Amino acid sequence: MRIHELLNKQAIDLNASVSSKMEIIDHMTGLMERAGNLYDRQGYKEGVLAREEEGTTGIGEGIAIPHARCAAVKKAGLAAMVLKDGVDYESLDDEPVELVFMIAAPEGGGNVHIDALSRLSTMLMDTEFKETLLKAKTPDDFLQIIDEKDDELDGKKKQKALEIPKDGYRVLAITACPTGIAHTFMAAESLEQKGKELGISIKVETQGADGPKNVLAADEIKTAECIIIAADKKVDLARFDGRPVIITKVADGIHKAQELLERATSGNVPVYHHDGAAAGETDSETENESVGRKIYKNLMNGVSHMLPFVIGGGILIALAFLLDDYSIDPANFGKNTPVAAYLKTIGEMSFGMMLPVLSGYIAMSIADRPGLAVGFVGGLVAKAGCTFANPAGGDVNAGFLGALFAGFAAGYLVLALKKATSKFPQSITSVRPMIIYPVFGILSGAVTTTLINPFVGMINDGLTGLLNSMHGASRVLLGVVVAGMQSVDMGGPVNKTSYVFATSQLAEGNFEIMAAVMAGGMIPPLAVALCTTFFKNRFTKKERESGLVNYLLGLSYITEGVIPFAASDPLRVIPACIIGSAVTGGLSMFFGCTLRAPHGGIFVLPTIGNPLAYAAAILIGAVVGCLVLAVLKKPLKEGENQ
């Protein structure tokens, strides 16, 4: 696919005047709309922002490639913008962006956006090409430069097909990044270019978002001098057993290609011996991380996989209550009508997966694939509350904390098994992943979880009893704390800690905490949006325009929408948001509001217990946050608010 097929003059701006990431995205979606690529600009913009929440598309080197595939896109297209002075985009290298390409892809449109991303990433590895684009005087010049580069790439592709060495490649490589997009292909291009310069034949397999491409063949692996794994995600290394392997991060593939290739052909690379894992060794930075950081990453791996089950199941259960008739049988509320019964049953199935999924993926994060089954079973043992006195379970409530412990225990037990069996003869190495890890791992994980269940059950019962015994001021104080935490770091560890605590209490029947937490998370964007509307003299024109988007983000419970404001003025914005969130959380608790669905914002208001009071709590908290921010921020001087 050629870039010119997706990019036209109407979608190019070589003299953009923007000052923030949100303004960049807003301006680029306008270009995309002007080019006739969208049905719904706002819907597409929401898709782009959702992608940014997964991780910044500011790929470094002054380049950003925001993108989205959604129903709001009419046809696949590109937009481009040049920023002469550079703008902060929260890029991976913390450097301002000068060149932005935005990609739109329709649902069901295949992998057009991935193809475009990979081609763009390859092009932009050429610094001279990038600099030439930045100096383009007209959109026609811009397109001509891209066409010439497209021709060059097509020629290289044909030439590359003719250059397969008869004796095989000296070096093989795999590149992969977490999103499987830009850095994956930039590292591949860098290694190939440097290999050509050094006269070292190399083949690179890219493990991108649309699957592996240019896959390494078994006979190529057998004859290669070395294999380079430049990856920031787990790569299956089983096929490289007994071969020299260098494992590093994907950024080294981009910036240290020559060093890697020289090392690969030095003859001093250690031989890799596979132990049945799924390549946990690929994370080269893990050894240098603090214990706290490792625990947090492992926990978040479990939580991120758990949340779809909790959110989907929780909303379905909430809908079942909304659609049911309480008067038919109060004791069976939620399943009195066929539709409600079906929704509640499916919701309970999804919700019931929460604990084993949490435990399983924590264990997998620690010990790779062998830890998954051990963690799943440990989570089920915790969920059932099994004890040695009653193996069938039901006596204790281990719950969320039990599954949490089971996941970490399972992961470290599998690591211990790996170490204990690492000296096994090579002839019986295959026994480890097929028998030892599953059998001994599951048994030891289950025994450990069963042993600890009664103690965790006591903690859970004590915590539940404490929460249930809270009345009046103490319960309001709890709401103040958990809701205020939502505004401390806008989606960071403190925010996530509050959210995880609330979701864990859903399983215990404490629905008020979830209500307070979600309300607290809605306040920062709403408070900022209100302040930019009613106290315009505190903000620049661009900030006022960006503030409007936060109405929708706040109502959708997307706290991260306020990050650009908090980053530019943290000493005023963050305290104001914390105060507003704390007020809302306290009021939500005071009014006795409940929430069974752990997401959805204002759109799940009908499923909330005491919905009118809940809406009032959110409105009051947003107004308080707005007023506090207005007091803290002084009016701008004349000329500064333009």
**Segment 500-513, tens digit of pLDDT:** 788 777 766 778 88
Q: Is residue 102 within 8 Å of 48, Cβ to Cβ?
A: yes
- Cα 570 from Cα 588, distance rounded (Å): 26
Show the DSSP H helices in 163-256 as ranges.
182-198, 218-223, 250-255
Instruction: Let me know whether 295 and 439 are in one domain.
Output: yes
Chosen domain end from 287, 318, 334 = 287
> Other C-beta atoms within 10 Å of 84: how many?
11
Instruction: Let me know whether 201 and 112 are in one domain.
Output: no
Chosen domain end from 106, 131, 155 = 155
Question: Quick check: is 124 in a domain?
Answer: yes
Number of compact structural domains in the chain: 4
DSSP state of 101: E
pLDDT at 162: 44
pLDDT in tens, 372-417: 999 999 999 988 889 898 888 777 877 777 888 999 999 999 989 8
- Cα 562 from Cα 573, distance rounded (Å): 9
Domain limits at 541? 473-632
Instruction: Let me know whether 266 and 307 are in one domain.
Output: no
Percent of the chain with pLDDT over 90: 26
Instruction: Let me know whether 205 and 121 are in one domain.
Output: no
Q: Which residues, other chains included, contact 306 with Cβ-Cβ below 8 Å and sequence gap of 6+?
A: 354, 357, 358, 361, 503
Question: β-strands 202-208, 211-213: how paired?
Answer: antiparallel
Instruction: Let me know whether 257 and 169 are in one domain.
Output: yes
pLDDT at 620: 96
Q: Which residues, other chains included, contact 169 with Cβ-Cβ below 8 Å and sequence gap of 6+?
A: 201, 202, 203, 220, 223, 224
Mean pLDDT of the chain: 82
Residue 280 above 60 pLDDT?
A: no
pLDDT at 279: 39
> Other C-beta atoms within 10 Å of 53: how many?
11
Question: Quick check: is 641 in a domain?
Answer: no
CATH code of the domain containing 132:
3.40.930.10
Q: Is residue 597 within 8 Å of 492, Cβ to Cβ?
A: no
Q: Dihedral of CA 273/274/280/283: which sign?
A: positive
Instruction: Let me know whether 457 and 413 are in one domain.
Output: yes
Residue 284 above 60 pLDDT?
A: no
Chosen domain end from 412, 437, 469 = 469
Question: Quick check: is 492 in a domain?
Answer: yes
Amino acid at 619: L
Q: Work out the end-to-end distance of the chain between its first and last CA atoms, rounded to an integer number of angstroms.
A: 42
Question: Quick check: is 638 in a domain?
Answer: no
Residue 82: its H or E element? strand 77-87
Question: Quick check: is 640 in a domain?
Answer: no
> Other C-beta atoms within 10 Å of 136: how many?
18
- For residues 288-306, average pLDDT: 71
Instruction: Let me know whether 176 and 235 are in one domain.
Output: yes
Judged by DSSP in three states, 490 sits in coil
Instruction: Let me know whether 431 and 499 are in one domain.
Output: no
Instruction: Let me know whether 126 and 185 are in one domain.
Output: no
Active-site annotation holder among 27, 67, 113, 183? 67
Alpha carbon separation from 165 to 263, 398, 407, 477 (Å, rounded): 21, 60, 48, 71
Judged by DSSP in three states, 171 sits in strand
Q: Is residue 149 within 8 Å of 126, Cβ to Cβ?
A: yes
Show the DSSP H helices in 423-510 as ranges.
431, 441-469, 473-485, 493-506
pLDDT at 50: 82
The helices-and-strands tally (H runs, E runs) of the chain is: 23, 11
pLDDT at 23: 92
Q: Where are the strands (E) in 107-188, listed by range?
A: 171-176
Nearest of 176, 171, 181 to residue 250 by alpha carbon: 176
Q: Is 67 a catalytic residue?
A: yes
Q: At what angle do helices 291-323 and 493-506 cross, to 10 degrees?
A: 40
- Cα 149 from Cα 155, distance rounded (Å): 10
Q: Which residues, other chains included, contact 399 with Cβ-Cβ below 8 Å and sequence gap of 6+?
A: 355, 382, 383, 456, 457, 460, 504, 507, 508
Q: Is residue 71 within 8 Å of 34, Cβ to Cβ?
A: no
Question: Quick check: is 252 in a domain?
Answer: yes
pLDDT at 12: 93
DSSP state of 5: G
Instruction: Let me know whether 359 and 408 are in one domain.
Output: yes
> Other C-beta atoms within 10 Å of 259: how many?
12
Rounded to two decimals, the pTM is: 0.48
Task: Specify the higher pLDDT residue, 235 or 494.
Answer: 235
Question: Quick check: is 73 in a domain?
Answer: yes
- For residues 151-162, average pLDDT: 61
- Cα 228 from Cα 623, distance rounded (Å): 56
Active-site annotation holder among 27, 70, 113, 177? 177
Instruction: Let me know whether 304 and 249 are in one domain.
Output: no
Question: Quick check: is 326 in a domain?
Answer: yes
DSSP state of 602: G
Instruction: Let me know whether 396 and 356 are in one domain.
Output: yes
Q: Is 177 a catalytic residue?
A: yes
- Cα 257 from Cα 605, distance rounded (Å): 53
pLDDT at 277: 42
**Conformational region of residue 12, where left means phi above 0, alpha means psi within -120 to 50, and beta covers everything else:** beta
CATH code of the domain containing 225:
3.40.50.2300
DSSP state of 386: -
Residue 492 above 70 pLDDT?
A: no
